[in-house]
């Protein structure tokens, strides 16, 4: 372990040993060790893609464009899916899943890769949806990508021929109310320790819960190689990648 991180890691481990409820808020940096880029944009949905149509990617991945030209939106969603295909949950995801046996853990993620669930975390709130889940907008029948391969653009429902969309938040759309309600319920119950991992915390619905928790006395920890809007508010800022920090904290917990 890096010498400069040892004191902070030991402090985090010490606070975790006495914790019951733990919140983990994750962003794109959580999945870097899985081989995924640090996506920018709402929903962790894209990186610096080259767009052939001369339109901003924000416009192509907008709800308005999907409504009038779903094939165009799906063209780039399919590119993102192909770039992610073959990637799997990394050891950081598995560390958090193992913590379920020790703490009452609630994972709240902006990522759409589904890796927290794949690793085995039992309580996951996907604020921006899941790229691997599809739904017919007419009959609401649900699919996985594998069920529709080879993938037509745009894909159509095998049951009613309705248009199928991915279960992700596009630009111009509200966050899913069910996920927000679940998040709010968990926040009202309170946490002993709250982590912000691999997210710039640029969205108020990520930033404010951490700041408010810190003000109420919750022990707050940020894991991010760079400083963010949260760095001055949290009790600990571990300036390193998510996987490195989580493995170090997990190892320290095992010793204590």
Q: Averaged in consecutive runs of 10 residues, what is the pLDDT profile of the chain (256 residues)?
A: 91 97 96 77 52 81 95 89 83 98 97 94 96 94 89 93 94 94 97 96 93 96 95 96 97 89
**pLDDT at residue 109, rounded to an integer:** 97
Domain 43-85+134-168 has CATH 3.40.50.1100: no
Q: Is 128 a catalytic residue?
A: yes
Cβ atoms of 214 and 64 closer than 8 Å: no
Find, among 90, 16, 1, 33, the residue nearest to 254 by Cα. 16
Locate tokens 């039992």: which residue? 122
Query: Which one is catalytic: 93, 94, 116, 128?
Result: 128
**pLDDT at residue 41, rounded to an integer:** 47
**pLDDT at residue 195, rounded to an integer:** 98
**pLDDT at residue 43, rounded to an integer:** 45
C-beta neighbour count of 181 within 10 angstroms? 11
**pLDDT at residue 202, rounded to an integer:** 87
Radius of gyration of the chain (CA): 19
Q: Is the pTM of this model over 0.85?
A: yes
Domain-by-domain residue ranges, the chain? 3-36+89-128+175-255, 43-85+134-168
Domain 3-36+89-128+175-255 has CATH 3.40.50.1220: yes
């Amino acid at each position: 372990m890096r010498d400069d991180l040892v004191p902070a890691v030991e402090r985090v481990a010490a606070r975790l040993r006495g914790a019951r409820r733990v919140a983990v808020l994750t962003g794109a940096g959580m999945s870097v060790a899985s081989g995924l880029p640090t996506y920018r944009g709402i929903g962790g949905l894209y990186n610096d893609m080259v767009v052939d149509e001369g339109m901003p990617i924000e416009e192509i991945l907008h709800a308005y464009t999907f409504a009038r030209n779903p094939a165009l939106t799906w063209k780039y969603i399919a590119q993102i899916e192909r770039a992610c295909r073959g990637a799997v949950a990394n050891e950081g995801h598995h560390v958090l899943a193992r913590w379920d046996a020790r703490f009452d853990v609630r994972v709240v993620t902006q990522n759409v890769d589904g890796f927290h669930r794949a690793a085995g975390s039992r309580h996951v709130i996907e604020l921006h949806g899941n790229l691997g889940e599809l739904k017919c907008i007419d009959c609401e029948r649900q699919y996985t990508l594998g069920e529709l391969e080879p993938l037509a653009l745009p894909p159509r429902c095998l049951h009613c021929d309705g248009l199928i969309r991915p279960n992700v938040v596009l630009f111009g759309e509200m966050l899913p109310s069910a996920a927000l309600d679940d998040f709010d319920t968990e926040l009202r119950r309170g946490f002993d320790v709250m982590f912000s991992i691999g997210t710039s915390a640029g969205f108020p619905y990520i930033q404010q819960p951490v700041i408010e928790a810190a003000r109420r006395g919750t022990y707050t920890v940020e894991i991010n190689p760079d400083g963010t809007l949260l760095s001055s508010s949290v009790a600990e800022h571990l300036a390193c990648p998510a996987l490195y920090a989580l493995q170090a904290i997990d190892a320290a917990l095992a010793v204590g």
